[in-house]
Amino acid sequence: MPALLADEGTVSHEDPVKPYIDPALASSPAALGRFYGRLHKSQMLSFVSGRHAHTVGVFFVHKKNGKLRLILDTRLANRALRKPLTTRLPTPAAWSSLEVGAEDTLFTAAGDVADAFHRMALPSNLQHLLRLPAIKCKFVDPKLWPAGCKREDYITPEYATLPMGWSSSLFFCQHTLQSAAAKAGLLESDCIEDRSWIGHISPGRVVHAEYVENFFVCGTDRERVQKSFDGVRRVLETWGFDIHEVTDAQPVVEGLGLRLDGTEKRVTLTSSRIWKLRLAALAIGRLKSPPPAKVIEKVVGHFTFAMMVRREALSVFSSVYQYIHAPKPGRSLWLLAQAEIVQASSLLPLLSTSWALPWDTVVSATDSSDFGYGVCERILDVRAVASCGRPCEQWRYSVEGAIRARARALGLERDEHLDSDQQYACSRFLALTLAPLVPILSTGMERIVRVLRPPVSEAASRPHKARRTDPQTPDTVAILTGSNSALEMGKLRRTSTKDRYLKALQAFYQWVQFYLVVTSDWDALLTAYLNELYALNQNVSAAE
């Protein structure tokens, strides 16, 4: 078992927290006593003598079946514990990583562990950290009084099972289900979880997913899927868990807000999940005044989970994140964030991922800046494409060299940013950026698809007065190969002027290297370069 208690001296001393108690219980000692009696009968708490400060609160939320779910407010108790271990769950993005043959059908079996948290005992040495409000003995059944207590004495209940709301409960519950799957013979490499790619599900392969108290088994062999599911179920029942809401192996199963359609070989959002988010977005759209950022953050969290079915959809959000992190967001920012949430809800019915799509042989590489973006393509063997595409790209979030990659490449400090002039220079001229691309573009890339620049209106913030001269027909190739130009012969009489000329010539030459894969016609290249400078309202005289 991992160490749970925080090291001495590392306990957080943040602002004091008062655990929240459901008003119906806080205002009625008699109701609170009956509630404690019911929990004690279910072996979920024990009593100790004395009036000790309570470290947890209690409230309820509705389950999908209409019953109430017991939640403990453990914010104060969590401060005495270490940060919980990382738990990888089967997110929508993980479900999207399945690959099913065009002629196959994916079968799924699912089950739910009833009251999973409350069926796991809390270690006795931690129970004192999870104390509910003290109560007088007279409000509790005398059979539950600790030895020596009288009617007017106080007793304090200590929680005895994993509380829902405790920072480490999710880890222990998830670990328990994954251990059951391993004991039933399912492979860890076949576990559907975040930051992994399941890949092709061959006829003899069975994959599985555990989500806290829900578990799923999938495969293209219906009998094998059912047999594996029954094995996991037997292990859990042997350990004392009750399994309900069982769905035997079938092509279409709903769970976790997702619809797993093995016939269509597609994962989508359930209609209930879509409508919950849609109605929430419409309610937000009707708000006249900006709500607390914390409220929007929670709503966006639900959207983020759903939109991981197609992660591209997350690009809808921009102003929303600014609103959440702004110290004092204004009304103008709120209106933008409000519109983004409503727009995101309109996309929800369109979000789906096909498990049967083949890997394409056309590979694209893109990059962008504030001044434009480019797309390059090449053809690769389908096996090479699949081997590159299957590893989850989220690995880069955990690798030091991949964090703030652009800033690291430019040698910037953590809080250092390029100003707008330097950004423009970096995107167009710097050899540091372009030099490594030249071998790839000239030997590996078959063609440039397109390079788009912003319209003139977007470049108006950079006005330069173009100086017109009489038309000339310079020998561009000769100049680029080393011959003296008219500028060198007629104007370069001062060192500073010559330096400016060489800088402009270097900029053009680097620009040419990027476009040599399109054409080797130097006249066309020079014309295009001057045209780009003019269209962007740049200093054409620098290229004379």
Give the relative orientation of helices 331-347 and 271-285 as an angle to the nearest 10 degrees.
160
Query: Which residues are CB-contacts of 70 (< 8 A; sequence separation ≥ 6)?
Result: 58, 60, 118, 164
Query: Which residues are CB-contacts of 460 (< 8 A; sequence separation ≥ 6)?
Result: 537
Per-residue pLDDT at 416: 61
Per-residue pLDDT at 460: 35
pLDDT in tens, 62-84: 877 778 888 888 888 877 777 77
Per-residue pLDDT at 63: 78
What's the Cα-to-Cα distance from 535 to each of 317, 420, 510, 527, 531, rounded to whole Å?
Answer: 31, 19, 19, 12, 6
Tokens 């066309």 label which residue? 524
Q: Please give the structure tokens belonging to residue 247.
A: 């769905």
Per-residue pLDDT at 414: 60
The answer to whether 175 touches 195, Cβ cutoff 8 Å, is: no
Determine the length of the chain. Answer: 544
Roughly how many angstroms between the first and final C-alpha of the chain, as a whole number?
73
Torsion of CA 46, 49, 50, 56, to 10 degrees: -10
Walking along the chain (544 residues) 10 residues at a time, the average pLDDT comes out as 58 70 90 91 89 88 81 82 80 92 93 88 83 90 88 90 82 90 93 88 93 93 95 93 92 94 94 94 90 92 93 91 88 90 93 92 80 81 86 62 62 60 45 34 34 35 38 51 52 56 75 73 78 71 56
Per-residue pLDDT at 453: 33
Pick the CATH number of 2-81+123-159 from 3.90.120, 3.30.70, 3.40.630, 3.10.10: 3.10.10
At 172, phi and psi to the nearest 5?
-65, -40
Report the C-alpha gap between 96 and 201 in whole angstroms: 13
The answer to whether 342 touches 282, Cβ cutoff 8 Å, is: yes
Domain boundaries in the chain? 2-81+123-159, 92-117+167-263, 271-354, 362-411+425-430, 501-536
How many other CB atoms sit within 10 Å of the CB of residue 77? Answer: 24
The answer to whether 428 touches 370, Cβ cutoff 8 Å, is: no
Report the C-alpha gap between 145 and 67 in whole angstroms: 30
Report the C-alpha gap between 460 and 311 in whole angstroms: 34
- CATH says 92-117+167-263 is which class? alpha beta
Torsion of CA 108, 263, 302, 199, to 10 degrees: 70
For residue 363, what are the β-bridge partners? 378
The answer to whether 94 touches 193, Cβ cutoff 8 Å, is: yes
Per-residue pLDDT at 438: 32
Q: Please give the structure tokens belonging to residue 127.
A: 């129970």
Strands 199-200, 98-99: pairing is parallel
